[in-house]
Structure 1
Amino acid sequence: MRMYASKSKVKSTANMVPGSKQPLTSELALDEYAKAEEKMKSAVEWFKKECAAVETRASGRITPAILDPVRVVLPDSKAAVRLDHIATVGVREGSTLLITLFEEKNMKHVEQALYASKIPNIVPQKQDDRTIKIPIPRPTVEARTVLYTAATRQAEESRVQLRKQLQASLKRGKFEKRSVEMEEASRLSQ
């Protein structure tokens, strides 16, 4: 136990709590901390999802999840719908995606959505009135290198987003330097 002397009496530091261990007490700080934490978590979750997709593409495994970003605009609905709502997506022979539509009238719209999604190596081939076949080639070394550089760029973009969110949070919270609130907010971005 450390003791230090003041002019009038000796005080113990045993009962003192360091600033970094003090809880947040300001309502504004707690609210801003919660908002920043939520936004940062969503940015990290987005990056994890993107990394999983890149890993799947780089490994050469074919899954129906490759077509998750595809949104089909139907003439009878105002909003775009997910592909799995109007068709089934399966894997054949480990390297071919097979899309079977529930209704024949949606064929043209699904093909347009597949081209519009701009997913690499997706070239739909019409089999019959309700079936689309998409052969997906095994990734080459160059393709894997491109995926790696894209993932590296996405990682840096995620870091930038986290730093921007931290700075915006600190600015909105108007925290003082070396305050408990500042330390807690800084800990979020680590």
Structure 2
Amino acid sequence: MSAAALISRTRLFTTSASFLLHAQCRSRATRPVTLAMHQVRSYAKPVKKSKDKGKEKESADVPQSGKKTGKGLSTDELIPASQRIPASADYKAAETKMQGVLEWFRKEVAALETRATGRVTPAVLAPVRVKLPNASDARGVRLEEVATVGVKEGTTLLVTVFEEHSLKYVEQAIYDAKLPSITPQKLDNRTVKIPIPKPTVETRNALYTAASRQAEDVRVQLRKLHQALLKKADVSKHSADFSTYQALSDKLMGELDKILAHLKKATS
């Protein structure tokens, strides 16, 4: 082989080796980059916290006035413990009795007010209770159960009994009622008349005094019914229902005071 050919082969071999070495180095240089790209982590974009999140949670737990909560309950529908009415039969029965006592007093005062204004009506004799012999009720019966009461000439009451033998008991009952300026006068075996004079200042004061005495009796009855209710229902001062039972008594006592105050104004 000539020297020129040998030199040509050597150059070709050198060029090929350089090309392979360059390609290998280039491959090694790009490999780490590829791996690095696979090792990059992806992170979600951070969510901005709402400043009202705490308020929303609080509003969900605490019902707003006049608004419905998650359970459909409004704060306007909530009833304080002191205003809750027990559904017990004892409570209802006691409430009915106490209301009955108060209504009786209201009617009595209405009759007294009628007299204080000078009007003559059968209601003037409403407080009269007639005690008949062998009667089942020791307190007596109402006057209209044994007699009729009419008005004559706008100034006189006429009482006519159903049976003659009961007239004396009716007369006595009118006296026992201690109605101011009321004096029965016998006309015949079945009738008495009662002239009603025009009310004077003294008469109006006497009417109010009589109503005040009746009011004290009513207060005593209301207290007794209230105490009996507490005892029967086994309610102590420290129990949850005590305020409710006490509220009933306070309410009726307040109505009693209003009735008496109205009469005082009418008789003054």
| TM-score of the two chains, using structure 2 as the length reference | 0.52
Partner Cα distance (1:160, 1:2) in 2: 56
- Which residue type is aligned with residue 40 of structure 1? M
Counterpart in 2 of 1:7?
none
Equivalence map 1:30-109=2 (5 Å): 30-68=88-126, 69-71=128-130, 73=132, 78-79=134-135, 82-109=142-169
Tell me if the contact between 1:54 and 1:147 (Cα under 8 Å) persists in the aligned partners: yes
Q: Cα gap change, 1:19/1:112 in structure 2, threshold over 3 Å: closer, same or farther?
A: closer
Q: 1:45 to 1:3 in 2, by over 3 A?
A: farther
Distance apart, 1:140 and its partner CA: 0.9
Q: How far apart are 1:21 and its partner, in Å?
A: 8.1
Contact 2:83 2:244 in 1 (8 A): no
Structure 2 residue aligned with 1:141: 201
Higher helix fraction (1 or 2): 2
Conservation of the 8 A alpha-carbon contact between 2:84 and 2:244: no
More displaced 10-residue stretch of structure 1: 87-96 or 122-131: 122-131
The Cα shift of 1:2 comes to 9.7
Report if the CA contact (8 A) 2:82-2:244 is conserved: no
Residues 73 and 113, structure 1, Cα contact 8 Å, conserved in 2: no
| 1:45 counterpart letter in structure 2 | E
What is the number of equivalent residue pairs in this alignment? 178
The 1-side partners of 2:189 and 2:79 are apart by 71
In structure 2, what is the equivalent of residue 150 of structure 1? 210
Shift of 1:54: 1.7
For 2:106 and 2:97, the matched residues in 1 are separated by 14
Q: Are positions 1:20 and 2:102 aligned together?
A: no
Give the drift of 1:82.
Answer: 4.5
Asked if structure 1 preserves the Cα contact closer than 8 Å seen for 2:109 and 2:211, the reply is yes
Higher strand share: 1
Kindly provide the amino acid, as one letter, of the partner of residue 114 in structure 1.
Answer: I
Q: 1:3 Cα shift?
A: 7.1
Q: Is the 8 A contact 1:72 1:83 kept in 2?
A: no
Rg bigger for which structure?
Answer: 2
Deviations 1:94-139 (A, max 9, x none): 1111223445554444433433443332222223344322111111
Identify which of 248, 260, 268 aligns with 1:188. 248
In the aligned structure 2, how far is the partner of 1:45 from the partner of 1:164?
17
Task: Report percent identity of matched pairs.
Answer: 50
Q: Decide which moves more: 156-165 or 124-133.
A: 156-165
* Structure showing greater relative contact order (alpha-carbon pairs closer than 8 Å, 6 or more residues apart): 1
Spell out, residue by residue over 1:73-106, the C-alpha distance to the aligned partner (whole angstroms, 9 max, x if none): 26xxx32654434443211111111223445554
Change (3 A) 1:32 1:151: same
Deviation at 1:167, TM superposition (A): 4.1
CA RMSD of aligned residues (A): 3.6
Residue ranges of structure 2 left out of the alignment (5+ in a row): 1-54, 64-70, 252-268
